[in-house]
Structures are given as structure tokens and as C-alpha cells.
Amino acid sequence: MKNPPTENSWQEQVDVDDGRLLIEEDEKERRFSSNIFWAGFNLINAILGTGMIGLPYSMKLAGLPLGILLLFAVAYVTDCSMILLIKAGEMSGTSTYQALVSRTFGFPGYLLVSLLQFLYPFAAMISYNIITGDILPKIFQRIPGVTPGSILADRYFAILSTTIVITLPIALYRNMQRLGKVSLMSLLLTIIVLVIVIIRASSFIGTIPHSEGAWVFAKWNAIQAVGVMSFVFMCHHACFLIYGSLEKGTVRSWSNITHISMIISLIISVQYSVFGYVSFTGFTQGDLFENYCKDDNLATIGRLFYAMTVILTYPMECFVTREVISNVFFGGSLSTVHHFAVTLLVVSLTTVISLFSDCLGMVLELNGLLSATPLVFIIPTACYLKLSSDHWYHISNAMPCFILLLGILIMPVGFSMTILYPQECSHGKEMFYCFSNSTLNDVPVSHLYHRNASEIK
């Protein structure tokens, strides 16, 4: 028969149990901190994406001073909107964007947000492939023996090969957390590309002629620029996925992650915008790397790193499109066979469309205005206002009302201007300043942008 526990042995057992609990709590805290860490990188990756390379183009549309102010404004609105979205989800007891809108506005709202939430990442995936098709052939042509007629210099081959070998296998992941390290790598590559853009800007200033009106405060295409910026910062389609990946997700922890991620993204965005635009002013393309000459060695390194960033960001968007399809058609759960089939279908469709589309600027504008604007400005604020216990005109709801009205104004006006006043797109053409025997003095600067480089010799 066992001896009854003495007071000392009982206290020893209590101390052991307390120690075990402290160790378990410390382990949980470390896992939680690590969880927040990777969630933050996933959010930054979702915010930055490929849109970074189009931000100098938005400065061309708006004018540099006004463009920077608009960039800060769109970042601030996006930050508020992401927090309102998760708050509304907590208020309604829902855990997906579609479920929130369904609970708030019924089945019509559910169909609308599902369509928008599918179209935005779907179009983003197309833009990723367009950039890959722009960049990789120019990189391969720097390899000795690879000529413009080689298969390695073909944009179709570049898109198809990267899709089959890299993006499709990563897109088949089922767990969002597994993309955390991929997102960290993507962020580091984005920073390296930024450093290259800054270095090259110092050599271009004073060498490439400035376009007419390059430094005016504002241009009348500013609303189109907001569309591009909205495309860049829009990550609402991934918010619930990232929030759901947190072990102990709260509105407060989400707010902290959102603020830090947005500040980091804004710092990087401003530098991309300024240094990219001052390099090429009014000649800036929707894909900034289209402005660099093929024989620019440093730009070639930048192209390589940016191509890697784009390829690593692609799977994040595929996660979202697959989740929308899963919620609408499969009740929120995909079997292994359906998971593979849906992923293959989405990737195949975006690949085929990107093979026949090569103007990135137009894709950024339209996707920003038609998909990002309602997902950022209109729907989160409308849901929050309807769920709020205060009247819409209460002072606490002033910011949601302001953001909602902005979205209602920007979306139709920006779309009309994009259709009526499309911008030039010089995909695949060397710019005039890449030709050493071009005579700039003989060609008006205002006409250089619109001419094929082969004519300026």
C-alpha cells in the first residue's frame, strides 16, 4: 500500500506542475509570436504583390506630388478598411468575406462579393504572368548564344514553363501557413529590387530627357492613378485567410499586424514610386522594367529578382480564388481530387489569358477600379455600418461613411476615364534612349514616347 503524500511531497508535486505549466505557456507564447510573425509576412506579401512595379506609372498618371499624397491616403484608407472588415466579421460571427456579406446583405450580396473576390486575384494572377512574360525573355537574352528568335526569348515559353515547373506546384499547397517562408523570401527580393531601382535612378537622372510637364503638381488622370494604387494595396481577399491562420486571433492583434504591415508596405511603395518615376518621368511604363534597356546588367539582375518575387506571390492569389470556388460550389470543403482539379483549372485559365494579353498598365487600372475599389472602399464599410449599433450618422461612423462615399465616386469616374483615355503601352519595344545612334535633338521629346524604337536610329 502506497504511503499517503506528505506536505513536502505534495508541495514538490505542485511546484513540478507549476513549472510544467509555465513551460507550456512559454511554448504557446513562442508559437503565437512565430504565428504572428509569419502572418505579418503573408499580409505584406499580399499587399505588395506585383503592383509595386506599377506604382511609378501611377505617378505619371497623377503627377508626382499629388501621386505621393494619394499613395498615403489610399494606404490609410486600406488600413482602416482591413480592420473594419475583421471587426465586422467578429460582430457577425463570420469567418470569411463571403459569409460576412451574406449575413449582412443576403444572397445577392454574397454573389456580388464572391464574383469580385474571385475576379481580383484572378486578374492579379494574369498580371503576374504578363510580368513573367515581359521579364524572363530579356533575362535569357543576356545568356551568350540566346538570340531574339530563340525559344528562351519567347514570352509564351517563359509563361508556360514557369507555370508548370514553379507556380502550379506551390499553388497546390493546402495550408496557408506553409507560404509564410515563401512570403518572407518574396519580401526580401522586393527590397533588393528596390535597391537596384534606386541605384539606377542616380545614373538616369540628367541622362534621359524629362517629358513635358514632368514635375507638375497634379494631372487630370489622378483618379486612374487611384485605381492602380488600390490594386497595389488591396489584400482584403486574403484577410480572413491570414486572420484565420492565427492561433489566437483577436481584433487587437489583427490591428497591430495590419498597422505594421501597412507601414512597411507604404515605405517600400513610396520609394518605388519616387525613384521609378524620376528615372523615366512621362515615359514610365505600366511595367517599370520595360523602361530599362536589354543590355543593362544591373537591370537584368533586378528583373531576375523581381521575376522570382512575382512567381512566389502567384500562389497566394491562387489560394483565394480556390477558396471562393470552394465556398460557392463545394460548401467550403474540397476533397483532394477537387482541390487538384480546381487549382489546375484556375492556373490554366490565367495562363491562357495572359498568353494573349501583354499591356500591364491597363490590367492594373481596370482591376483596381472594378474589383479593388468595391472590395476596399465600399463593401467592408457598408457591412460595418449596417452591423454597427450606432446610427450611420453617429460621429464614431464618420470614417466608414467617408470611405464609402469615396469608393462610390472613384469607381465609375475612374472606369470611364480608363476606357475613354487609355494610356500608351510599349510592350516588348526598346525605348528610344537605349539606342546609342539615336539623335535626340532631331526628335521632339513629346513624340519620343509614341514612336517605335526601331524608327529612331
Q: What is the pLDDT of residues 168-201, one digit of tens each?
A: 888 887 765 556 566 677 778 888 888 999 998 8
Q: What is the pLDDT of residue 182?
A: 67
Alpha-carbon distance of 277 to 225, in angstroms, equals 13
Q: How far is CA 74 from the centre of its chain?
A: 14
pTM for the model = 0.79
Question: Which segment, 285-289, 331-335, 406-410, is predicted with the most confidence on average?
Answer: 406-410
The mean pLDDT of 247-263, rounded to a whole number, is 86
Q: What is the pLDDT of residue 347?
A: 93
351 or 448, which is more confident: 351
Q: What is the pLDDT of residue 63?
A: 93
19 or 271, which is more confident: 271
Q: How confident is the model at residue 29 (pLDDT cuts 50, 70, 90)?
A: very low
Q: What does the block give as the cell for 207?
A: 541622362
Q: Is 294 exposed, middle or buried (0-12, 13-18, 19+ CB in 10 A)?
A: middle
- Can you say whether residue 142 is alpha, beta or left, with left for phi > 0 and alpha for psi between -120 and 50 degrees? alpha
Alpha-carbon distance of 364 to 360, in angstroms, equals 6
The mean pLDDT of 220-240, rounded to a whole number, is 86
Tens digits of residue pLDDT in 369-426: 888 899 999 999 999 999 988 887 788 889 999 999 999 999 998 888 888 877 666 5
Q: What is the pLDDT of residue 361?
A: 74
Q: What is the pLDDT of residue 425?
A: 66
Q: What is the pLDDT of residue 456?
A: 33
Q: How confident is the model at residue 31 (pLDDT cuts 50, 70, 90)?
A: very low
The mean pLDDT of 235-254, rounded to a whole number, is 81
Could you give phi then psi for residue 392, rounded to 5 degrees? Answer: -60, -30
The pLDDT of residue 9 is above 70: no
Contact indicator for 19, 225 with CB cutoff of 8 Å:
no
What does the radius of gyration of the chain's CA atoms come to, in whole angstroms? 25
The mean pLDDT of 60-88, rounded to a whole number, is 94
The pLDDT of residue 50 is above 70: no
Alpha-carbon distance of 292 to 430, in angstroms, equals 8
Q: Where are the alpha helices (DSSP H) in 281-372?
A: 297-329, 336-355, 360-367
DSSP state of 264: H
Tens digits of residue pLDDT in 109-132: 988 988 998 888 898 888 888 888
Alpha-carbon distance of 85 to 52, in angstroms, equals 24
